[in-house]
Amino acid sequence: MVGPTTGPHPRLQPTRRKNLEFEPLSTTGLILEDRPASLPAKSEEEAQRHRQEYNEMVAEAKRRELKDAQRKKRQMKERLKQEENIARAMLIWNTEVLPNWESMRNTRRVRELWWQGLPPSVRGRVWSLAIGNELNITPELYDIFLSRAKEKWRSFNETNSLSENEDCGTSLADRESSLDLIKLDIFRTFPSLYIFQRGGPYHDLLHSVLGAYTCYRPDVGYVQGMSFIAAVLILNLEEADAFIAFANLLNKPCQMAFFRVDHDLMLKYFAAFEVFFEENLPKLFQHFQTNSLTPDFYLIDWIFTLYSKSLPLDVACRVWDLFCRDGEEALFRTGLGILRLYQDVLLQMDFIHSAQFLSRLPENTPAHTLFSCINNTHMISSNRRWNQVSAAHTKTISTFADKVGSPALRS
């Protein structure tokens, strides 16, 4: 009679991995392994279930991989298409439109091309031409006011503060003292880009343009929000050209009304905005009315920064494209486009949550969807366009003032 075999158990060899299509890269593959000899073996039913579960996991992983590959392929195809469109548009702008600016800028073809977004390489030049230079500012004039700003800064550094005779920029007679306020605001300008903060490549440029402007227009001085406008221009133009565009842009009636806090004109704009708001989005308009959410709670910040603080930078630049094409109407049309885009969300919110939401829009606001909403916003009321409506509402300012709840807009 043969006795029992002594010594260690022979090592069990895996019998299933050899049939796998690939070597498992995670512990999920252990589901197919036999149990150690010290444990009860799997039943055939359990082993079959584990094989099925593993096959399902492998199939799901393959589906995800295929889906991801298809998504990347679509993105690459879309990117190539976008690059081709930009190159084609850039050629048209450089060879046909810009050399014949005055005769072509308002043609239907150019306006449609403009709507699609300006190629980055021509954006600055088109903006400059569209904004114009009614103030006849020259690079030499910029240098003069920049020198004056630098003298002011040196004076501030020597005294370490504003003199007692200066009023921290609050006087309409002389707001050059608001130069000191610029330093406090620059670091908050596009903070995620890290290019305008101290030590960044555009910090000194932004500081210079804003400082020169406060000396050029001491009656306006520096107002919070200007840094975003100047920063966008600096990203697209040379220093002196950015200053020229900046000064002329802020001299437009709408911008001057807001930056000088002209209550009457601001109320005119709000009243006109509400006419188109009610016609385009009557349900949301009534919801805002019920909750006493008036335009001053969200429009002021949007207009102050021309949406460059509220929207992703690439989307904001396209809004600027539209603004340079259509003027101030585009700013209020964009506002209505944003309200249309988020209408379903806003209808579920009360006053506080709506105001908070509109003051901090989602960071992933999609350009295509937003511009589709803007395109579906019609700026005609009773056969009157924006300019006609806003002019007519000058007479209704006193009535609208009674509705506005913001103390900032009350005399």
Residues 6+ apart with CB under 8 A from 215: 145, 146, 148, 149, 152, 176, 179
* Cα separation, 280 vs 122, whole angstroms: 33
In this structure, the number of other CB atoms found within 10 A of the CB of residue 110 comes to: 20
Q: Which amino acid is at 388?
A: Q
What phi and psi values does residue 138 have, to the nearest 5 degrees? Answer: -115, 160
* Cα separation, 240 vs 377, whole angstroms: 36
* pTM (predicted TM-score): 0.77
* 146 CB-contact burial (10 Å; exposed 0-12 / middle 13-18 / buried 19+): buried
* Nearest C-alpha neighbor of 295 from the set 315, 278, 312: 278
- Asked if 247 contacts 146 with a C-beta cutoff of 8 angstroms, the reply is no
In this structure, the number of other CB atoms found within 10 A of the CB of residue 407 comes to: 6
One digit per residue, the tens of pLDDT, for the chain of length 411 reads 444 445 554 444 444 444 445 455 555 556 666 777 777 877 888 878 888 888 888 888 888 888 888 888 887 887 787 788 889 999 999 999 999 999 999 999 999 999 999 999 999 999 999 999 999 999 999 999 999 999 988 887 766 544 444 443 344 434 455 776 888 889 889 999 999 998 999 999 999 999 999 999 998 989 988 999 999 999 999 999 999 999 999 999 999 999 999 999 999 999 999 999 999 999 999 999 999 999 999 999 999 999 999 999 999 999 999 999 999 999 999 999 999 999 999 999 999 999 999 999 999 898 999 999 999 999 998 889 998 998 887 655 544 444 444 444 543
Measured CA to CA in angstroms, residue 347 lies from 158, 238, 289, 300, 337 at distances of 55, 44, 12, 21, 15
